[in-house]
Structure 1
Amino acid sequence: MSYEQVEEAWQLSDDARDFAGKDGAEPTPARYWRDLFAAHPLVDVERTVAEGGDAPEKIYLKSPYGLQWRQEHRDWIPFRHGEIPPFRG
């Protein structure tokens, strides 16, 4: 399950890069939030708003992962914010 959750975070990061390229203008974290992340089913909206406000620079997913805004690169990169249970195989 954890690998799939990492992949979901990377896919959302890729979706943000695609979103940025659609109209040629560089979106701000507030615009990403409003137009891409706020309605996305993977996003933990309550936690993201509680910890980041209206223009969050960290997007918390419902999994142990999320996306963090990198100002110097003007993009979103996955990060881990929660515990991952050990693999029992």
Structure 2
Amino acid sequence: MRGPGDPAGGQHRVAVPVTAERKKVLLRLDPAVHDALARWAADELRSTNAQIEFVLRRALADAGRMPKEAGRIPRRGRPRKTDSPSEDEEP
């Protein structure tokens, strides 16, 4: 029987790196504003959510209010190939 101070039942614990969880926000927008953002996002091959974050980050930077501890926007999608020559290099 396990005691209250031993929730793992005597098993060893492994340290797992902690990643900062992204905040979830409910945002109410005028439908016309949302449609314009969605079209803009599609033009730049981003999701609407990524476009909103992009615009907010740009506004923070322009206003001099971007926190120094703010991480970069995570890259989404398929990873780039690292073993193929770039366009600038000759094969």
TM-score normalised to structure 1 length: 0.26
Higher helix fraction (1 or 2): 1
Higher strand fraction (1 or 2): 1
- Which structure has the larger Rg over C-alpha atoms? 2
